Amino acid sequence: MNHPDRATGGEVGRPATPGRPGRSSEEIRRDIEVQRSELGTSVEALRGRVAEITDWRRHIREHRRELMIGAAVAGFAIGGIIALRRRR
């Protein structure tokens, strides 16, 4: 089942406007090379973005204060729960 693609205005997997009829094989090859180049650029950009997002060490460095506050709150909460259970 094909659903409309919001980005292109057509169906998923199909361009919004089909190629010009009667194009020469050289024009088709050139279009394929342009698409291949754009795809390569997009993949490289995506790879860089994924590496940035999944770099947990960088996130720890950038959010050290928040992590320390969270750890202190968690420690107090766990300590409080343990203390309440020992009273019983």
Structural domain contains residue 83: yes
Please write the tens of the pLDDT for every residue from 12-64.
555 545 567 888 999 999 999 999 999 999 999 999 999 999 999 999 999 99
Written as one string, the DSSP assignment of 29-43 is: HHHHHHHHHHHHHHH
Instruction: Report the number of distinct structural domains present in the chain.
Output: 2
The pLDDT of residue 13: 55
Q: Where are the alpha helices (DSSP H) in 1-87?
A: 25-53, 56-62, 64-87
Strand ranges (E), 1-88: none
Cα 32 to chain centroid, rounded: 26
Structural domain contains residue 8: no
Interatomic CA distance for residues 8 and 17, integer angstroms: 9
> Do 44 and 61 reside in the same domain of the chain?
no
> Do 46 and 64 reside in the same domain of the chain?
no
pTM for the full model? 0.46
> Do 79 and 65 reside in the same domain of the chain?
yes
Please write the tens of the pLDDT for every residue from 5-26.
444 444 455 554 556 788 899 9
Q: Is 4 helix (H, G, I), strand (E, B) or coil?
A: strand
The pLDDT of residue 70: 97
> Do 62 and 84 reside in the same domain of the chain?
yes
Residues spanned by the domain of 77: 57-88
